[in-house]
Structure 1
């Protein structure tokens, strides 16, 4: 039986961090030198695969739980990187980098953030495969939490994979007036994000099952449960940094100002849950407080034409300028116009 390899520390934190930094910097050098967008997301997804393979091989003779958790994150990383590579090859360039591609430090900032993302989200598998966990007797794979984790992973993987394809095909076949409200998008405006969140929590659930019933104690027990920072970090990222905040309000604003079927899209927004899949026939009539709390449709995602539209802002500015003239009648008219927005 192969022995576990100890490298730098007994949780594999340092070696996985070093590998991630080196891996991302190599791709950054290529992307910045050649102004090449096509490997950016590919570098992120495949980095998960690299870390899982290395930590699993270092663990000596892995048990079933380590193999399953490692294979799950590898399958997710390969699927994600493969799809994003295919999509960028079709579209030609990544608009996210139009203001960064030629600037060393702003562009490097994206890659540093990607390093943090990969290393943090990989933590459940990294710690599970580490020597400190391997030295203790493990709960045999197949507990209720293991089964629940496998089922949740399957649901999340199918949801994320299928919805990514559905959205890509929809955009290829339809113009900007159309609304993607079929398939998984009938029940959620972002089923791919929801699927991705489920995947990471399912892997975490499988990983911490090794510590159930007191088989693993002390600091190791705490370390396994602390890896929940991985799925939480991904959830925060999708909800407040690079996911919903970049698509919800900006997307609605673009439709409104370009008159791309705004009325139809406004109805879609009112009927369809932002993240958690739910029947639109019921969701439409739920109280706002339920949508804001249970379904996470926070005010930061909501587009209000009167507040957020450039056209409305321009009208308010014109009204204010008219109200500053010498004619009291004009000033009163301007004040009334301003109040109406």
Structure 2
């Protein structure tokens, strides 16, 4: 099992390394998110039990496939329309700086997939339990939450009348980053659904998946960047400061005063 995961780690980082070379050569980040999504699909596919796949494994893999296809297509469409990703403005022309997000993406893929990779190696199955259904239910909730939030923001931004406004309607009325909340929920759900089959160290390593996603979005690549961008754009707008003070940064209805 360890050797199988090790091979997948090698494939994961090899893909990101090739992506970095292409990105540095052509000074583009247009294929960054798409590459990440396709890596999720490839590693999940390669980790499957080739002789027999249980219902639990099939559902787990399907959840990853659906999420990756949807998010990859959405982000690729968005960057093609926008022409660039502002996260890369200060590193697009620097190969050494570009190297960091590509390797971080490799780390994100493999850590996030750990529960699924461990589950797919199991050759002995157990009856489905409430844990499975709770996990799949949480995945569905998080997936729909993320999809709806993304669609609401895209619709808002496509309206030329909103060019200088910030979104505070729909799910964005209850969270400043509802799409990230959905993302965290769905990966927590997939950990829960797989946890019934994980044993020993697998449970402790597997929990890194939702924990890593939460920390990554909350403190590194997601929320901090978008919060700084929002302050630059709307910092002089009193309505934005009111929205910021009243609306939770991540979890709907739960506002942490210090954030």
TM over 0.5: yes
Q: Which residue of 2 aligns with 1:194?
A: 181
Report if the CA contact (8 A) 1:11-1:126 is conserved.
no
CA shift at 1:82, angstroms? 0.8
| Structure 2 residue aligned with 1:94 | 85
Q: Is 1:167 aligned to residue 153 of structure 2?
A: yes
Higher RCO by CA contacts (8 Å cutoff, separation 6 or greater): 2
- Contact 2:114-2:205 at 8 Å conserved across structures: no
- 2:118 is aligned, of 127, 133, 146, to 127
1:154 to 140, 164, 175: 140
For 1:177 and 1:100, how far apart are their aligned partners in 2?
Answer: 26
CA distance in 1, matches of 2:166, 2:178: 15
- The match for 1:318 is none
Q: Distance in 1 between matches of 2:232 and 2:87?
A: 18
Is the deviation greater in 228-237 or in 98-107? Answer: 98-107
Residues 26 and 129 (structure 1), Cα distance of their counterparts in 2 relative to 1, 3 Å cut: same
1:267 equivalent in structure 2: 242
Determine if contact 1:208/1:225 at 8 Å carries over to the other structure: no
**Cross-structure match for 1:38:** 30
Higher Cα Rg: structure 1 or 2? Answer: 1
| C-alpha distance in structure 2 between counterparts of 1:179 and 1:102, whole Å | 30
Q: Is the 8 A contact 2:166 2:234 kept in 1?
A: no
| Whole-Å separation in 2 of the counterparts to 1:62 and 1:127 | 13
- In structure 1, distance between residues paired with 2:192 and 2:140: 13
Distance in 2, Cα, partners of 1:242 & 1:76: 19
| 1:249 to 1:39, Cα distance in 2 relative to 1, 3 A | closer
CA–CA distance in structure 2, aligned partners of residues 108 and 239 of structure 1: 22
**Structure 2: runs of 5+ lacking an equivalent:** none
Aligned length: 258
1:232 paired with 2:206, answer: no
* CA displacement at 1:250 relative to structure 2: 4.3
Do structure 1's residue 248 and structure 2's residue 234 form an aligned pair?
no
5+ residue gaps, structure 1: 1-8, 212-219, 284-290, 302-341
Post-superposition offset of 1:222: 2.6
Is this contact kept in 1: 2:44–2:116, CA < 8 A? Answer: yes
User: Does the 8 Å contact 1:207/1:224 carry over to 2?
Assistant: no
Q: CA deviation at 1:54?
A: 0.7
